[in-house]
Chains A and B, each alone.
Chain A
Amino acid sequence: DAGITQSPRHKVTETGTPVTLRCHQTENHRYMYWYRQDPGHGLRLIHYSYGVKDTDKGEVSDGYSVSRSKTEDFLLTLESATSSQTSVYFCAISENPQETQYFGPGTRLLVL
């Protein structure tokens, strides 16, 4: 998985609780991404980062926030989880935005 880890790998939580997912890379790549994958929708970009403290929104950013205080870590936070945020979340990294993205192992999140 190109030196990318995600934690936790599985999580069950209740509606209304905050949840933070972590992506950690050892490749020193500048760009990091958060996607969600749902049946019938494929992979959709939530947020991405182009450097420390530099982030921007993706296609489905409502209800999510991100932070990047170090090159190697990119955090995704669901401030108040909803059942519609039940999904598989993938982190990805790339050296530049036109090049290949490499994916982490994913986090399965179930919001009850």
Chain B
Amino acid sequence: QKEVEQNSGPLSVPEGAIASLNCTYSDRVSQSFFWYRQYSGKSPELIMSIYSNGDKEDGRFTAQLNKASQYVSLLIRDSQPSDSATYLCAVMVGGKLIFGQGTELSVKP
């Protein structure tokens, strides 16, 4: 089992809809979780970090963490074509960041 798993997609949503991106992880002692966005040909950029169970909101983005279920998600409200990118889930394990393979999101006008 991979340490961090994401659906590879592509996930296609219409403009204005909510995009839901999911990530599961295997290490129960993980304490830090991150979502990065990566446009094609560019480097990953941080969108959200979350450390405690529950929801964390930042503008149109909401990260949700459930440590008991080993599950972290990212919701993008009012999706825009500019949100089209690959979203990387990353989990801190033993001081090292372990990345999922990423979910490709396509927002259709």
Instruction: Give chain A's interface residues, CB within 8 Å of chain B.
Output: 1, 33, 40-45, 48, 58, 90, 97-106
Contact A102 B102, beta carbon cutoff 8 Å: no
B45 contact set on A, CB distance < 8 A? 103
Contact A42 B43, beta carbon cutoff 8 Å: no
Known: A98-B92, A100-B34, A104-B43. A42 touches B97 (CB 8 A): no
Shortest beta-carbon distance, A74 to chain B, in Å? 16
Bitwise interface map of B from 80 to 109 toward A, beta carbon under 8 Å scored 1, else 0: 000000001010100111011110000000
Known: A43-B88, A100-B49. A1 touches B43 (CB 8 A): yes
Instruction: Give chain B's interface residues, CB within 8 Å of chain A.
Output: 31-32, 34, 42-46, 49, 88, 90, 92, 95-97, 99-102
Contact B101 A40, beta carbon cutoff 8 Å: yes
Provide the bound-state CA to CA distance between A48 and B96, in Å.
Answer: 9
Majority secondary structure, A binding face = loop
Known: A43-B88, A98-B31, A98-B32. A106 touches B43 (CB 8 A): yes
Contact A100 B46, beta carbon cutoff 8 Å: yes
Provide the bound-state CA to CA distance between A102 and B31, in Å.
Answer: 19
Contact A98 B102, beta carbon cutoff 8 Å: no
Name the one of A42, A101, A106 contacting B102, with C-beta atoms under 8 angstroms.
A42
Shortest beta-carbon distance, A40 to chain B, in Å? 7
Contact A90 B43, beta carbon cutoff 8 Å: yes
Contact A103 B43, beta carbon cutoff 8 Å: yes
- Interchain Cβ contacts under 8 Å between A and B, 17 examples: A1-B43, A42-B99, A43-B99, A44-B99, A45-B97, A58-B96, A97-B92, A97-B95, A98-B32, A98-B95, A100-B34, A101-B46, A101-B97, A102-B46, A103-B44, A105-B42, A106-B42
